[in-house]
A = this chain, B = another copy of it.
Amino acid sequence: RALVEIDCGDGRGGVDPNGDLFVQIGTALGDRLEGVLTHAGHSYACRDVECIRQVAEQERSTAVSAAERLRSAGLTCETVSVGSTPTMRHAESLAGVTEMRPGVYMFGDLFQAEIQSCTREDIAVTVLASVIGRRIDENRILLDSGALALSKDRSTGVTSRDAGYGLVLDIDGRAAFGECVIDRVSQEHGIAISDVSLPFDELGVGVKVRVAPNHSCLTAAAYDRYYVVDGGREVVDTFDRVNGW
């Protein structure tokens, strides 16, 4: 069973739902045709909720119209699948849609907070890091979380609140150090700076902090498991990841 991918405006993959090829593929699939699939990745270019709502409606209407086109050609189209986290969050109607495939919504991240898919307080995945150096006169700390631990995703670089390579929180996940961001990374190191004077008495070498990521999908993919906490510091469970291809 197969879905035919259509392009609803993102310009990444999928065929033109108004072109001849689309119906030809559906016809060629015959009994294997399950439905249509699209992904409104262009919702990530939005900077306000109204824009996301418009993209969500474009995604929905394109997918539903494409499904109708297959049905009008005498083909079955059981699945009408759409998906992106911003459109999932802000769609006003999902009429005709049978499946949604948002990904990052389950964790959120700094970029999703900037485009109002969640708040910073909602972010449910962080990287546990240790202070490994301090430059008190320069108001910065060195962490053992660099490009490997965080990824080089710089999603927030295009938003009004650029969080560098990640936002440094205290061990309990609180924004206790001001707008404290990872300003520079190398493979294993991250240099964090802040818009307030850092409390160096609380940030000795070896102290653990948490770093909220720009993009949870890419950061989480660097690890083979999640250590689950439930409001405290105790690890209450371990979830394995499925990585690789």
Chain A residues proximal to chain B, CB less than 8 Å:
12-14, 41, 103, 132-133, 142, 144, 147-149, 151-154, 184, 186-187, 189, 191, 217-218, 221-222, 224, 244-245
Q: Out of B14, B149, B152, which one reaches A152, CB within 8 Å?
A: B152
C-alpha gap A154/B157 in the complex (Å): 14
User: Across the interface, do A218 and B133 meet the contact criterion of CB distance under 8 Å?
Assistant: no
A13 touches B152 (CB 8 A): no
CB pair A142–B12 under 8 Å, yes or no, is yes
What are 12 inter-chain pairs, A to B, with CB distance below 8 A?
A: A12-B142, A12-B186, A12-B189, A12-B191, A13-B132, A14-B133, A41-B186, A144-B245, A149-B245, A152-B154, A187-B218, A221-B222
Residues of B within 8 A of A13 (CB): 132-133, 142, 189
Name the one of B12, B41, B144, B221 contacting A148, with C-beta atoms under 8 angstroms.
B221
Separation of A144 and B245 alpha carbons in the complex (Å): 10
User: Which one, B12, B153, B184, B224, contacts A147 given CB within 8 A?
Assistant: B153
Nearest chain B CB to A96 CB, angstrom units: 25
Q: Check B153 against A217 for contact (C-beta < 8 Å).
A: no
Known A-B contacts A12-B142, A133-B13, A142-B12; A148 and B218 likewise in contact (beta carbons under 8 Å): yes
**Chain B residue nearest in CB terms to A41:** B186
CA distance A12 to B12 in the complex (A): 38
Question: B residues within 8 A CB of A144?
Answer: 245
A147 with B218: CB separation less than 8 A: yes
Cα(A187)–Cα(B12), bound, Å: 12
B224 touches A244 (CB 8 A): yes
Bound CA span A133–B10, Å: 14
Q: How far is the CA of A144 from the CA of B13 in the complex (A)?
A: 11
